[in-house]
Amino acid sequence: MRVAFFLVLTIVGALGATAAAWVGAQPVLLAGALVVAFLGLAGASAAAAVALHAPDDLREPREPHGPSAPAPLPDDGISRPAFGRLWLGALGAFGVLGLVPLISLARKPGRRVITGWRAGVRLVDENAMPIGRDRLVDGGVETVFPQGGVGLPEAAAMLIRIDPELLRVVGESGAAADGYVAFSKICTHAGCPVALYRHASHELYCPCHQSRFDVLRGAKNISGPAPRPLPQLALDVDAQGYLIARGDFGAPVGPDDWDRVS
Partner 1 sequence: MIVRRVVRWLDDRLGTNAGARYLLAKIYPDHWSFYLGEFALYFFLTLVATGIWLTFAFDASAQGAYGSVLELADRSHPIGYVIRQIHHWSADCFVAAILVHMGRIFFTGAFRRPRELNWMIGLTMLMLASLTGFTGYSLPGDLLSGTGLRISESIALSVPLVGRWGAAVLNGGDSYPGPLLGQHLYTLHVYLLPVSLGALIGLHLFLLIYQKHTQFERDPKHVVGRRFWPDYLLRTVAVFGSTLAVLALLAALVEINPIEDFGPYQPWIAANGSVPDWYTAFLEGALRIGPASEIHIFGHPIPPLFWPGLVLPTLAFVLLLLWPFIEKWLTRDDATHHVLDLPTQSPLRIAVGGALIFEGILLTLAAADDQTAATLHLRLETLVWVYRILFLVGPFIVGWIGWRIAAERRSRIIESTVYPSEVTTLVRTAEGGFEEEEPQPA
Report 63-92 residues binding partner 1 (CB under 8 A): 64-65
Using rule CB under 8 A, residue 14 touches partner 1: no
One residue of 11, 19, 31, 88 binding partner 1 per CB under 8 A: 31
101 binds partner 1 (CB under 8 A): no
CA 91/CA 52 separation, integer angstroms = 55
| DSSP states along 177-195 | GGGEEEEESB-TTT--B--
Question: 231 and 252 in contact (C-beta within 8 Å)?
Answer: yes
Q: How many residues of this chain bind partner 1 (CB under 8 A)?
A: 80
User: Could you say whether residue 181 binds partner 1 (CB under 8 A)?
Assistant: no
Using CB under 8 A, which of the segments 110-118, 160-168, 175-183, 241-249 binds partner 1?
A: 110-118
The neighbouring-strand residues paired with 110 are: none
Site pattern 206..225 for partner 1 (x: CB under 8 A): xxxxxx---------x-xxx
Among 69, 95, 97, 108, indicate the residue that binds partner 1 (CB under 8 A).
108
Among 7, 14, 141, 195, binds partner 1 (CB under 8 A): 195
Spell 122-138 as b/e; 16+ CB within 10 A means b. Answer: bbbeeeeebbeeebbee
Find all residues with CB under 8 Å of 122, minimum gap 6, and list them.
130, 131, 146, 147, 238, 242, 243, 244, 245
**CB of 82 or CB of 105, closer to partner 1:** 105
Choose which of 74, 77, 95, 151 interacts with partner 1 (CB under 8 A). 151
CA 166 to CA 181: how far, in whole Å? 12
Does position 21 interact with partner 1 (CB under 8 A)? The reply is yes
